[in-house]
Chain A
Amino acid sequence: MAIDEGLKSELQKQGIFVLPFEQLYNWGRKSSIWPLQFGLACCAIEMIASAASRYDLARFGAEVFRATPRQADLMIVAGTVTKKMAPQVVRLYNQMPEPKYCIAMGACAISGGPFKDGYNVLKGIDRYIPVDVHIPGCPPRPEALIHAIMTLQRKIANQHLEKGQRPRWYDKNAASEYAIPAFGEHDLQPTANREVWQPPRDYRDVTLEDVKKP
């Protein structure tokens, strides 16, 4: 059921907004992303800065930092996830109700970043939980976090309610909890959740030839 674009804009001029239910629904969801008040390291300070007066995350409906995961929609993994902290992070994500999103803020949260060679540093939170948006940077500027939230809003706005295109969490039986790693004698057990983390393709193949291409 599509609405004619011309008619739509004509109506809009007269103050009547016609839009599919899906769009209204997504608009509501994307305009009230409540993050979990949860900072890990350096990036958390920039996260606070983006919620403070100068960058004012409230303009995006995302300033309501909730202290409990039960009331949060978004987990901003802001900082280095160490192996000692990883089980807690996964547990927090498990405790969040669906639909839930995860932003990996900063190099450490994405891949371990500069600390990736450390014996106690997890090489990216996406080993255990799915990540929706990655923000590179060390730390990213507050604007970069806002940009990521806008990116996430775009993702939410493009989700469909129709059967077959629905996001994972509309399915009652879909997993919303992820395995929590246990502390082992030398390392976390398991070291990665293979259902969540898949190795990518090999990336060492973009060469000078690709520059010459128009």
Chain B
Amino acid sequence: MIQPLTDAKPYTLTPGSNGVIETQTLEVSIGPQHPSTHGVFRMDCVLDGESVVALKPVMGYLHRNHEQLAERMAWLGSMPYTDRLDYFNSMTNNWAYALAVEKLAGIKVPDRAEYIRVIMAELTRLLNHSCVIGFMLQDLGAWGTPLLYAFRERERILDLYEAVSGSRMMCNYMRFGGVRVNLTDENLATAKDIATRFPRFLDEFEKLLTNNEVLLARTQRVGVLPKELAINAGISGPMARASGVDYDLRKVDKYGVYGRLEFRVPLGDIGDVYDRYYIRVLEMRESIKILQQALRDIPQGPHIAPEVKLRNFKIPPGDGYGRIEGPKGELGFYLVSDEGGKQPYRYHVRPPSFINLTILEDMCVGHKVADVVVILGSVDIVLGEVDR
């Protein structure tokens, strides 16, 4: 049942008191089946003509009870489920969960595993950002072209994922205390190849888009998010940084081996859709830098902490929160272990794209309805993560 957000005004063409023709507001439900809602997401928009007066996001169409299922199974059993949270970035989801569990259990991860994790996470960032830009351009009306280019590059990275972990999308690669399979020299060579080739693709991508007049006209000064609001609303990731919030967990928490790697955190200053587009391009360039350093420095050694048991893994009672900088923002896991310790008593995911949606209405109000889909595209949501 759709509940009306505003009272319908009578439709009249007679001039109002101050000589303006009064029109009726119109309520439009965009989604859950809509080509540019990035899944099953719905927006209830109230339109005055073409301008958005109010907008309420409606979600839950992909609420598949990840948290409750995780509370019923062993710690390890949830690992493949985290793949399905944000299904573009299974590697970073794995890492966030593994990191949270390692924090609770006090497991130390071998160096090589940390480097492998960095490599995989940065590849994921490349994959995610290029696809997001593709999808956003698709919403703008650039049917296909940028998305096809992005997916062409994505396939190269997925091939590496498959060679390493066995699956293209649902890698289930990280384990508590390390990673499941060691990287072979061949895999490392492939990763190096991707890292050297990707800048060329980025150049091409940028030539296609960055100065494109249509893109500029449609994205600049659209969906502006002020810095204070971004911080207050808990916005994280590229979206916050586009608004000038200098907050990157790779720098702040220095988890993994990010403390040893050199990279910049690009910041935007207006916080409009264009900034959010361009921040992602810049982040990809930084990711390539990180990749090259990690591939250069990766040490030999074990890929998993040997003392960690695969089965009957137990965690002492208590709680803890572990977070990483996923491609979409701060991905955190809040875990509570009880007396038995065999399975989580409470398992909560702090999904970045869910919280990034909080200010969707603030960004959209006042813009035309055609801009709404672009603004949504620039938020970068994946419904598996929004609804869990």
Question: 3 closest pairs, A vs B, by CB?
Answer: A118-B65, A42-B87, A52-B151
Residue on A nearest B64 in the bound complex, by CB: A115
Bound complex: CA A210 to CA B174 (Å): 39
B377 CB to nearest chain A CB (Å)? 15
* Cβ contact within 8 Å between A85 and B69: no
The secondary structure that dominates the A interface is loop
Bound complex: CA A88 to CA B60 (Å): 13
Note all chain B residues with C-beta closer than 8 A to A46: 168-169
Segment with Cβ contacts to B, from A33-41, A161-169, A188-196:
A33-41
Bound complex: CA A144 to CA B172 (Å): 20
B72 touches which one: A84, A117, A139 (CB < 8 A)?
Answer: A117
- Classify chain B's interface size: 20 to 34
7 A-B pairs with C-beta separation under 8 A: A42-B384, A52-B147, A53-B148, A53-B151, A53-B152, A88-B40, A139-B169
- Interface bits A25-50 vs B (CB < 8 Å: 1, else 0): 00000000000011111101110110
Chain B residues numbered 107-149 whose CB sits less than 8 Å from any CB in chain A: 147-148
Note all chain B residues with C-beta closer than 8 A to A38: 33
Residue on B nearest A48 in the bound complex, by CB: B151
Residue on A nearest B149 in the bound complex, by CB: A53
Interface membership of B239, Cβ < 8 A:
no
Chain B residues numbered 154-212 whose CB sits less than 8 Å from any CB in chain A: 154-155, 168-170
Note all chain A residues with C-beta closer than 8 A to B69: 114-115, 117-118
A-side residues, CB < 8 A to B, are 37-42, 44-46, 48-49, 52-54, 67, 79-80, 82, 84-85, 88, 92, 108, 114-115, 117-121, 138-139, 141, 183
Interface membership of B383, Cβ < 8 A:
yes
B168 touches which one: A39, A41, A52, A141 (CB < 8 A)?
Answer: A141
Could you count the A-B residue pairs with CB atoms below 8 Å apart for me: how many are there? 95
Bound complex: CA A9 to CA B1 (Å): 61
* Cβ contact within 8 Å between A121 and B64: yes
* Cβ contact within 8 Å between A37 and B35: yes
Note all chain B residues with C-beta closer than 8 A to A54: 151-152, 155
A85 touches which one: B61, B68, B168 (CB < 8 A)?
Answer: B61
Bound complex: CA A42 to CA B151 (Å): 15
* Cβ contact within 8 Å between A120 and B170: no
* Cβ contact within 8 Å between A115 and B87: no
Residue of B1, B62, B387 contacting most chain A CB atoms (<10 Å): B62
Bound complex: CA A40 to CA B148 (Å): 20
* Cβ contact within 8 Å between B84 and A121: no
Note all chain A residues with C-beta closer than 8 A to B33: 38, 88, 92
Bound complex: CA A139 to CA B35 (Å): 21
* Cβ contact within 8 Å between A41 and B151: no
Bound complex: CA A183 to CA B84 (Å): 26
Bound complex: CA A118 to CA B63 (Å): 9
* Cβ contact within 8 Å between B169 and A45: yes
Interface membership of B39, Cβ < 8 A:
yes
Bound complex: CA A150 to CA B68 (Å): 38
* Cβ contact within 8 Å between B87 and A41: yes
* Cβ contact within 8 Å between A139 and B170: yes
* Cβ contact within 8 Å between A120 and B63: yes
Note all chain A residues with C-beta closer than 8 A to B65: 115, 117-121
Bound complex: CA A75 to CA B64 (Å): 21
Residue on B nearest A183 in the bound complex, by CB: B1
